Amino acid sequence: MQSVSAHRGSLDVVTALIQKTISPVARPLAGLFDAMGDYSHGVIRSHSLAEQNRAMKAQLDAMSIYAERIDQAEQEIENLRKLLDQPPLPGMTRVNAPVIGLHQTEGLLEVGAGTNKGIQPNMAVVNGQGLVGLVQTVTTDECQVALLTTLNINVGGVDASRKPPETGLLSGRGGPVLTMTLFNSKSTVASGDRILTEGVSKHIPAGIDIGRVISVEDDPYTGTRKASVDPAVDVGILREVQILK
Amino acid sequence: MKSAVAAVAMLWLSGVLESSLSPRLAIGYGSPDFPLIVLVCLGLFCDRRATTLLGFGAGLVQGAVAGANLTLYIATRSVAGFLLGWFNQLEVQGNLLVAGLVCFVVSLGAQLLLMFLGVYHGSLPPFLAGTLITAVYNGVIAMPVYALLNKLARSTR
């Protein structure tokens, strides 16, 4: 009987019956014994398991740092790619320069290009994300760039999301955001609008990204509307910039 | 009748343990053979006919759990049961050590009989080593099981 069943690829009746009566209890019990085995194994080898755990945590930390660095490097590559893909500006030349230092409190950037490369004060400094700031002081081979957010830096801006475009003056306040004073008191500028350079200054061409509007409010003292603008450029990861001369 | 029910229950329990616990206690090729332990421990309280029947049951359970040839397991365990019944007729004073030793010998005999009947086709040394480990395991486990059964038997008398 057993051989016939085996030839058919099935269990014989007796074996199947015994297994059916045993397996409903044996299976959960096997799981329980496995759990008990794991527990006792854990208790006996607790010291080495703790060491392994520590080593794995350290590896995980190292990997997370590594992953963070990869993200930063990818972001840099992306920025450099954007820099290279910038369209030519009529009547202007782009001078590539490395960022040497950043003084965030003062709102200043040190850049490795000076008078030897034809750099002069008030020239616009850009990167792949948008307008970084304006050249303030220049030495032979270096220059200091005032970031857009620096106090008393003013740039003409235009809201590209509105038709007709709305214009205003963007000013740094020393904080993380810019204030855009809108010339039209009934302006329809709204959160999320993209602000570009207006191109009135001979040093700053039109159409360079400045940032996005995050809030708009009326100024009761001056009767104007003011918009807070989040700068497009992430200053913390700047490695290379272009100076427009 | 009560004894028969108890024997069936113990054989069922041995099948459960054989299926769930035995593989987890394996050392090399050897692991405890719970149906055989039940056969010896219960068999020490029975006559020759009952031990042979117990052997039949133990072989049935062992063969079914292993999914192996039932005939060979039933035959070897029935012979082991019969010999155990014959040993009982010698009226040796039963105690823990005797139970352990008998279980050790019966395990060795039953497994060697299986080998001669051609169940095992692989290399001989691992099988013999496994048989020895199984016999030792069974002998050790048989002692507390026998003690428990002995206590139960006394309390029911």
Q: What is the pLDDT of residues B113-142, one digit of tens each?
A: 888 887 666 677 888 888 999 999 999 999
CA gyration radius for chain B?
A: 14
A10: chain B residues, CB-CB within 8 Å? none
B38 in reach of chain A (CB within 8 A): no
Confidence of residue A56 (pLDDT cuts 50, 70, 90): very high
Average pLDDT over chain B, rounded to an integer: 87
- Give the residue, B59 or A187, on which the prediction is more confident: B59
**Beta carbons within 10 angstroms of residue A131's beta carbon:** 27
Q: How many residues does chain B have?
A: 157
Q: What is the rounded CA–CA span in Å between residue A82 and residue A128? A: 4
Q: Residue A5 above 70 pLDDT?
A: no
Q: Find the CB nearest A22 among B15, B21, B69.
A: B15
Task: Please give the average per-residue pLDDT across B58-69, as a whole number.
Answer: 86
Nearest CA in chain A to B19: A26
Q: Find the CB nearest B64 among A15, A29, A30.
A: A15
B63: chain A residues, CB-CB within 8 Å? 15
Following DSSP, what letter does each residue of A143-189 receive, concatenated? EEEEETTSTT-EEEEEETTSSSPEEEEEEE-SSSSEEEEESSTT---
What pairing do the DSSP bridges indicate for beta strands A143-147 and A108-111?
antiparallel
pTM: 0.53
B70 in reach of chain A (CB within 8 A): yes
Contact A171, A220 (CB under 8 A): no
Candidates B12, B13, B16, B17: best to mutate against A (most CBs of A within 10 A) is: B16
Inter-chain touch B21–A33, beta carbons under 8 Å = yes
pLDDT tens digits for range A181-226: 988 778 888 899 999 998 888 888 888 999 999 999 888 787 788 9
Inter-chain touch B16–A25, beta carbons under 8 Å = yes
Q: Report the b/e string of A8-31 with b at 16+ CB within 10 A.
A: eeebbebbeebbeebbebbeebbe
A-to-B residue pairs, Cβ atoms closer than 8 angstroms: 50
Most confident of A25-29, A81-85, A87-91: A25-29
B100 in reach of chain A (CB within 8 A): no
Contact B44, B94 (CB under 8 A): yes
Candidates A2, A5, A15: best to mutate against B (most CBs of B within 10 A) is: A15
Q: What is the rounded CA–CA span in Å between residue B44 and residue B24? A: 28
B65 in reach of chain A (CB within 8 A): yes
Q: Find the CB nearest A26 among B20, B69, B71.
A: B20
Q: Residue B55 above 90 pLDDT?
A: yes
Confidence of residue A127 (pLDDT cuts 50, 70, 90): confident
Contact B17, B34 (CB under 8 A): yes
Q: Residue A144 above 70 pLDDT?
A: yes
Distance from CA of A26 to the nearest CA of B (A): 5
Nearest CA in chain B to A31: B20
Distance from CA of B18 to the nearest CA of A (A): 9
pLDDT (0 to 100) of residue A8 = 65
Q: Find the CB nearest B70 among A14, A27, A34.
A: A14
List alpha helices for chain A, DSSP H. 2-8, 13-44, 46-84
Q: Residue A55 above 90 pLDDT?
A: yes
Nearest CA in chain A to B14: A22
For residues B54, B55, B56, B60, the Cα torsion angle rounded to the nearest 10 degrees is: 100
Q: Residue A43 above 90 pLDDT?
A: no
Contact A207, A89 (CB under 8 A): no
